[in-house]
């Protein structure tokens, strides 16, 4: 009987890497930051020594990552205001990185300037072939 050594090694490594983290949740904390929390995977493989958080805009693959060591939460800063992001978390062991969790989508808050302009209505009144610009501000508080 012949044993496929590469298949055996692949199976052993798969068993030794952690499974995907559970219950991934996001909380948008500002126009440029998101806080990600998760629970440990059910199967820890050969042991977990950290996590990778993958993210990017929802229209692209998740190709940006940040590391989280010895924690089940991470704040991601420096994001763009009023933008959708897709996020996923993977656990790391000394045998490799496990599968990425199910994706979660979040949208950062509007920036102060964007909020201000979203509350202004621009109305154009055509009078005698002249156009007047009328600004009406909904709220004085931003």
pTM recorded for the entire structure: 0.70
Q: Point out the least confidently predicted range of 34-48, 62-76, 121-135.
A: 121-135
Q: Is residue 22 within 8 Å of residue 16, measured between CB atoms?
A: no
Average pLDDT, the chain: 78
User: Which residue's structure tokens are 């950062």?
Assistant: 108
7-15, Cβ contacts within 8 angstroms, sequence gap of 24 or more: 13/95, 13/96, 15/45
What digits encode the pLDDT tens for the residues 6-65? 655 555 555 689 999 999 999 999 999 999 999 999 999 889 999 999 998 767 778 788
What pLDDT, on the 0 to 100 scale, is given for residue 12?
52
In this structure, what token pair is assigned to residue 21?
């983290």
């Amino acid at each position: 009987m012949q044993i496929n050594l590469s298949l055996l090694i692949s199976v052993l490594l798969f068993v030794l890497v952690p499974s995907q983290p559970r219950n991934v949740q996001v909380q948008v904390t500002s126009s440029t930051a998101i806080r990600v929390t998760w629970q440990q995977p059910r199967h820890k493989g050969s042991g977990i020594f950290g996590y990778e958080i993958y993210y990017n805009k929802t229209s692209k693959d998740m190709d940006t990552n940040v590391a989280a060591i010895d924690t089940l939460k991470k704040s991601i800063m420096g994001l763009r205001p009023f933008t959708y992001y897709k996020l996923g978390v993977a656990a790391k062991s000394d045998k490799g990185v496990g599968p990425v969790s199910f994706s979660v989508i979040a949208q950062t808050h509007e920036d102060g300037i964007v909020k201000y302009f979203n509350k202004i209505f621009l109305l154009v009144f055509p009078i005698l072939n002249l156009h007047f610009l009328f600004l009406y501000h909904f709220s004085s508080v931003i």
